[in-house]
């Protein structure tokens, strides 16, 4: 039997990069049996935790790039191991030492984030083009909330409608808000989870400076990824704001009678819990309350809902990486929604919408299943 010596230098590097949590693992394997990858292929997070613990990291192993940071394993781990932090710390080391080994699409997103403040290759000067033909204006500061659309609705033609619908509803509900315009940068969440803490820090600093200059007190975010970052990461960097996800604001407006519906939306809707709204932040009820309040709408949960929701596959920087046909979690979710007789698969995250849209197109289900944001369904009923 070959005896393998732990690589102390590598172990120290993983510790320094934030992966110290590996020491708590007792190799029960529950993370592996919880991981959604094992519904489509083999992936063993417990093996990677073990490799990290002994510093035996193979820099060329594609597994380091697979985790979507869905938090399923973390929420079930009996030892409370911050599994995604361990995997993220190895990603950081891989980027530092073998940048060329990172998936090409991820490197390209990082280049665009560094140059233009968004991962989609769009120009910074075009960031607020989605507001053309609307009366959404830049924030004036003081008592206005900041509406943060996220890069994806800002640059993706389909997703732009989500931001515009949100803007129109907020105005109808009497919310005074503005946008930051071209000064706004990506929140940095996904690039951080992809292991690039430097780009994250630079994006976060730029946003915090711009928010403070604009005297922002409250932020309303469309993306659960922006929401979690502003709420949980920016405060320790000096950016303290009141942060709400759009569905939380809509829930409040509806329950206080500030938004009244005039139309019925007679559709069977299945709601998908985005990982960063649900498992990461416990926001399960508000989007359901909003959907349930829409006249005529028949709401159902997915087969695996709330804490057990299956990830769409877009977190942890995976939204920028290619996932092979037959291995996309979003394909499973779309097929399940069709089986349930849904006419609409609704969610509250731009990444989920992008992935579901692709799955619907690949499965040629365009006429059968619509993918919509909660805000778009609300707007239909106004």
Q: Which residues bind ligand SF4 (CB under 6 A)?
A: 25-31, 34-37, 45-46, 49, 67-73, 77-79, 81, 83-84
The position carrying tokens 């329950």 is 255
Would you say 40 or 101 has its CB closer to ligand SF4?
40
Question: If we measure between CA atoms, which residue out of 260, 264, 226, 265 comes closest to residue 244?
Answer: 226
Q: How far is the CB of 303 from ligand SF4 (least distance, A)?
A: 18
Query: Which residues, including other chains, have CB under 8 Å from residue 82's CB and lie 6 or more apart?
Result: 21, 74
Q: How far is the CB of 318 from ligand SF4 (least distance, A)?
A: 9
CA distance 345 to 355: 12
Longest Cα–Cα distance in the chain? 74
Q: How far is the CB of 352 from ligand SF4 (least distance, A)?
A: 15
- Tokens for 162, please give them: 């989500």
- Going by the DSSP 8-state scheme, the letter that residue 97 receives in this structure is H
Would you say 70 or 180 has its CB closer to ligand SF4?
70
* 366: helix, strand or coil: coil
Q: How far is the CB of 347 from ligand SF4 (least distance, A)?
A: 18
Query: Which residues, including other chains, have CB under 8 Å from residue 130's CB and lie 6 or more apart?
Result: 149, 153, 154, 155, 160, 163, 164
Q: How far is the CB of 75 from ligand SF4 (least distance, A)?
A: 9
Would you say 27 or 263 has its CB closer to ligand SF4?
27
CA distance 355 to 371: 10
Query: Which residues, including other chains, have CB under 8 Å from residue 7's CB and lie 6 or more apart?
Result: 54, 55, 56
Are 249 and 220 a contacting pair, CB within 8 Å? yes
Helix axes 197-213, 104-116, angle to 10 degrees: 30
Would you say 88 or 188 has its CB closer to ligand SF4?
88
* Signed CA dihedral, 196, 199, 205, 210: sign only: negative
Q: How far is the CB of 336 from ligand SF4 (least distance, A)?
A: 18
Are 228 and 276 a contacting pair, CB within 8 Å? yes
Would you say 32 or 196 has its CB closer to ligand SF4?
32
Question: If we measure between CA atoms, which residue out of 267, 251, 336 comes closest to residue 39?
Answer: 336
Between CA 129 and CA 171, with CA 188 as vertex, the angle to 5 degrees is 45
Query: Which residues, including other chains, have CB under 8 Å from residue 107's CB and lie 6 or more apart?
Result: 99, 100
Would you say 73 or 219 has its CB closer to ligand SF4?
73
Q: How far is the CB of 324 from ligand SF4 (least distance, A)?
A: 16
Would you say 31 or 165 has its CB closer to ligand SF4?
31
Q: How far is the CB of 258 from ligand SF4 (least distance, A)?
A: 37
Q: How far is the CB of 304 from ligand SF4 (least distance, A)?
A: 13
Would you say 66 or 208 has its CB closer to ligand SF4?
66
Would you say 35 or 344 has its CB closer to ligand SF4?
35
């Amino acid at each position: 039997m070959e005896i393998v010596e732990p690589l102390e230098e590598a172990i120290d590097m993983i510790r320094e990069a934030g992966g110290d949590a590996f020491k708590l693992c007792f190799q029960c394997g529950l993370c592996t049996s919880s991981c959604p990858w094992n519904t489509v292929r083999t992936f063993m997070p417990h093996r990677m935790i073990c490799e990290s613990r002994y510093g035996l990291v193979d820099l060329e192993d594609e597994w380091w790039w697979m985790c979507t940071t869905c938090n399923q394993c973390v929420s079930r781990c009996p030892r409370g191991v911050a599994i995604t932090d361990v995997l993220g710390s190895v990603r950081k080391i891989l980027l530092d030492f073998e940048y060329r080994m990172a998936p090409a699409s991820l490197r390209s997103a990082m280049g665009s984030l560094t140059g233009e403040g968004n991962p989609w290759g769009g120009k910074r000067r075009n960031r607020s083009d989605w507001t053309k033909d609307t009366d959404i204006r830049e924030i004036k500061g003081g008592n206005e909330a900041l509406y943060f659309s996220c890069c994806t609705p800002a640059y993706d033609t389909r997703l732009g409608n989500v931001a515009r619908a949100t803007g129109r509803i907020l105005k109808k509900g009497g919310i005074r808000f503005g946008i930051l315009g071209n000064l706004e940068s990506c929140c940095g969440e996904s690039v951080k989870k992809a292991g690039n803490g430097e780009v994250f820090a630079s994006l976060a600093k730029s946003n915090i400076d711009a928010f403070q200059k604009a005297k922002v007190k409250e932020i309303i975010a469309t993306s659960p990824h922006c929401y979690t970052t502003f709420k949980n990461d920016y405060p320790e960097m000096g950016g303290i704001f009141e942060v709400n996800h759009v569905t939380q604001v809509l829930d409040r407006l509806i329950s206080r009678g500030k938004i009244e519906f005039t139309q019925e939306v007679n559709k069977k809707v299945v709601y998908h819990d985005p990982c960063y709204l649900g498992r990461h932040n416990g926001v399960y009820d508000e989007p359901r309350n909003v959907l349930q309040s829409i006249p005529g709408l028949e709401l159902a949960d997915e087969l695996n809902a709330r804490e057990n929701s299956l990830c769409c596959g877009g977190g942890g920087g995976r939204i920028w990486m290619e996932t092979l046909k037959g291995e996309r979690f979003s394909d499973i979710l779309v097929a399940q929604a069709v089986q349930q007789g849904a006419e609409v698969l609704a969610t509250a995250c731009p990444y989920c919408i992008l992935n579901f849209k692709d799955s619907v197109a690949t499965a040629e289900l365009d006429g059968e299943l619509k993918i919509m944001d909660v805000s778009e369904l609300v707007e239909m009923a106004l």
